[in-house]
Amino acid sequence: MEARVKWLDKLTFTGTSGSGHGIVMDGDRENGFGPSPMEMLLLGVAGCSSIDVVHILQKSRENVLDVETDIKAERAETDPKVFTKIHLHFKVRGENLNEAKIERAVHLSAEKYCSASIMLAKAAELTHSWELLD
């Protein structure tokens, strides 16, 4: 994999992935034009896990209609302000979903498939939960 980050102005940067997709990142928490790099890490781990959960449920022939993942994280108070705890909570909607299959999908993502969460779990306490919504 390759990517490029280019400084624009102040603390604003553009990032371009090897596949050509771009995003703006900003270190200015007050007037920023995009998420901070640490927020990008959280979005990345949630995106990775969410993709796994949807894919596993679809392969299990579950009629999943929506997955929304909330992420909460805690950081160290002193530099480097690394993540110390990360929690992902999956809200799953669908028709006649099997709860055991949802639990299995979340577990498989966390323990086997999501490279981002497995990597971050080596540095922070990483937990997962889920709920089935009507």
Distance of CA 65 to the CA centre of its chain: 19
Report how far apart, in Å, the C-alpha atoms of 23 and of each of 30, 34, 58 are. 18, 8, 29
Distances in Å between the Cα of 27 and the Cα atoms of 2, 8, 16, 70, 74 are 22, 12, 17, 22, 18
pLDDT at 42: 98
pLDDT of residue 31: 87
Residues of the chain with pLDDT under 70: none
Kindly report whether the peptide bond that precedes residue 80 is cis, defined as omega within 30 degrees of 0. yes
Note the pLDDT tens digit of each residue in 14-39: 999 999 999 999 999 888 999 999 99
* pTM, entire model: 0.93
The whole-number pLDDT of residue 134 equals: 81
* Angle of helix 99-108 versus helix 37-59 axis, rounded to 10: 130
